[in-house]
Amino acid sequence: MNVLVMTSMYPTPENPAFGSFVKTQVDALRAEGVDVELLVLRGRNRKWMYIDGLKQMRNRLRKGGIDVVHAHFSYVGVIARMQRMAPVVVTYHGDDLLGCVADQTGRHSQFSRFMVRVGQRLGRCVDAAIVQTAEMAAKLDHASHVHIVPHEVDFDTFRVVDRLEARQELGLDPDKPLVLFAANPQTQVKRFPLAQEAVARVQRDWPEVELLVIYREPQARLALYMNACDALIFPSFQEGSPNVVKQAMACNLPIVATDVGDVREVIESTEGCAVCRPDADEMARELQAILARRQRTRGLDAVQRFDRAAVVEQLLGVYRNAIGREETGRHSDRRAQAAVAGVH
Tell me whether residue 94 is in a domain.
Answer: yes
Tell me whether residue 288 is in a domain.
Answer: yes
What residues contact residue 24 under an 8 Å CB cut-off, 6+ apart?
A: 151, 152, 154, 219, 243
Total count of residues recorded for the chain: 344
Same domain membership, residue 204 and residue 175: yes
> Rounded to whole angstroms, how far apart are CA atoms 81 and 69?
9
pLDDT confidence of 109, banded at 50, 70, 90? confident
Same domain membership, residue 144 and residue 17: yes
Same domain membership, residue 317 and residue 291: no
Q: What is the pLDDT of residues 144-184, one digit of tens each?
A: 799 999 999 999 999 999 999 999 999 999 999 999 999 99
Question: Mean pLDDT across the stretch 241-260?
Answer: 98
Same domain membership, residue 173 and residue 108: no
Tell me whether residue 248 is in a domain.
Answer: yes
The β-bridge partners of 36 are 3
pLDDT confidence of 18, banded at 50, 70, 90? very high
Same domain membership, residue 248 and residue 168: yes
> Rounded to whole angstroms, how far apart are CA atoms 277 and 282?
7
Same domain membership, residue 264 and residue 339: no
- pLDDT for 58 equals 97
The beta-strand segments (E) located in the chain are 2-7, 35-40, 68-72, 88-91, 128-131, 146-148, 178-181, 210-213, 231-234, 255-258, 274-276
Same domain membership, residue 124 and residue 6: yes
Amino acid at 24: T
Tell me whether residue 158 is in a domain.
Answer: no
Q: What is the pLDDT of residues 312-327, one digit of tens each?
A: 999 999 999 999 987 6
Same domain membership, residue 80 and residue 9: yes
Same domain membership, residue 124 and residue 43: yes
Tell me whether residue 250 is in a domain.
Answer: yes
Closest C-alpha among 322, 321, 325, 320 to residue 34: 320
Structural domain total, the chain: 2
Q: Name the least confident of 4-18, 105-119, 250-264, 291-305.
A: 105-119
- pLDDT for 344 equals 39
Same domain membership, residue 322 and residue 262: no
> Rounded to whole angstroms, how far apart are CA atoms 114 and 125?
17
- CATH for 94: 3.40.50.2000
pLDDT confidence of 330, banded at 50, 70, 90? low
Quote the pTM value: 0.92
For CA atoms 179, 181, 186, 192, the dihedral sign is negative
CB 298 within 8 A of CB 270: yes
pLDDT higher for 342 or 32? 32
> Rounded to whole angstroms, how far apart are CA atoms 316 and 88?
13
Same domain membership, residue 102 and residue 136: yes
Question: CA dist 285 to 160, 253, 281, 282, Å?
Answer: 26, 17, 6, 5
> Rounded to whole angstroms, how far apart are CA atoms 117 and 98?
10
Q: What is the pLDDT of residues 174-199, one digit of tens each?
A: 999 999 999 999 999 999 999 999 99
Predicted confidence (pLDDT) at residue 333 exceeds the cutoff of 60: no
Tell me whether residue 178 is in a domain.
Answer: yes
Tell me whether residue 254 is in a domain.
Answer: yes
Tell me whether residue 203 is in a domain.
Answer: yes
Same domain membership, residue 87 and residue 205: no
Q: Look up the domain containing 242 and give its range.
A: 163-302
The region, left, alpha or beta by phi > 0 then psi within -120 to 50, assigned to residue 252 is left
